[in-house]
Structure 1
């Protein structure tokens, strides 16, 4: 290693350590101080260092990234207490009620080995289904996004390698479909999905609606995503070929004849309106609009960190938009109705080898 590399590594470590120290100290004061002005000032300081750590994360090594993640998790917990004190009090009351729950479960005592935000997001219990032991997770609040759930399951199974089952009061059609497609076990009042023992049960008193028009759940099956960017379409195809373990992938080119009969929503930039649109669809689940076609930026890996900070009320809409100005933006054209698909015409299909990106 060259001397310059050593100096750079030491400087990076010092920079990260300083931000983490100030962030954790500020979070502690927000949680413990009785002085309103102190709490307000320290919250703003903590937010600044949270953002700074997000920016420097890409230069960090594996150990530094873990320390950054732990410090930012600490901030997220504080943010809930600071921004939503009534919600926290309600959660504490609900937790007391859950402590009196039935005796069909055994206690799972490994929460201390988990990241704080995971341990604080669920009630944990061990249950036996047939002869299979599993971990039951009852969300204390709204269920996280699918990528976050997968990471949480992986963290839990690193400690206790048994099936993890989500115990849900209700679940939207969109979320139900997403969980099933990704083999994530769950139990609700009306459905049991336990792929590790080959079980999927429905309540026959809750019949499926079958009409001439697409109902909500059927629409989800026919959601059709496209993009005007050729490089992005090839990347989507390439990723799918990796996931499906295929040696080649296809890119389909369509001509879209936009017709006044269609309800088309356009987002020309990463705006506050776009942020609110994404927030509604991600927090409430499913489609929170009646458009036939939606055209605009896509909430992907390039933008998701800022979007999540906005959804968590850590950033205001204007602050989030300012941060998004510096992101690489991809494009998406999504077709949401059968009517919209009638105005698509296939032009060509191009085949690519998987090593040809």
Structure 2
């Protein structure tokens, strides 16, 4: 396995320039998030941390996955390796949407395999992009097996939701944009499923001396378990965010990134994810999926930072929290009179 490099991310940024929506960032209200510095020590007033939200849920197809899909298909088109049989992918939903969108732009067919548990909103949007949708099994791993079999028999180009350097490098272009919008950025916080977003963002962040916080649901912790074991291992998947963060096993690229200096692994509970998601709706009217709220939950959780159950920004620290996707049912959010003003 060749580790992902900053050069890979830069090449992806050049390849997809002008073909994805530039990320928007917005500051979090002062005092809305607890920080890790000690208050009341000495006569000096502590400098507050600076927390930003990176609104990548506004990307084409509703998630950061559009970046990797564009990079993957454009690279194959440039190399002359994009077959007439089109492209196929297994996905919890978001990668499939991105693949279908990018395939339509390239004029080829996308056949997308999803678990039968995929949210209906994602299935409907896939069909709207012209994809052929096939529902298989109850977990991503079963959909992936069916996808691999289809690719072998049909000649379709097999893409991957996260375990491919072109996909991960495309995702990493997000960090390049964020740091330009937040000069002096210290830390980026991202949710982790299979590790494509994390691997790409970490490679770019490391190049610029920026820390990366990798956040997972406690019951869907493929990266955290790989760090403990020293190698990728299968983990059970049981989380409210499993439709996007439901990978059983993290990639070698992600594990390599997790072993670098300046990376921290954090686990959060489903209750904390749900609470963070609701807060984004209550205070910002942002309807995001649970995976996006997972990153925010790291800095709003009640857990112990020393035990890897939360992340507390330090004094004066500039932090960007990536809201990675919005493919959710807004009806699952609770409307509260007077909120959102």
**Which of the pair is proportionally richer in helix?**
1
- Answer 1 or 2: which has greater strand percent: 1
Which has the bigger relative contact order, CA under 8 A and spacing at least 6?
2
Q: TM-score, normalised by structure 1?
A: 0.25
Larger Rg: 1 or 2? 1
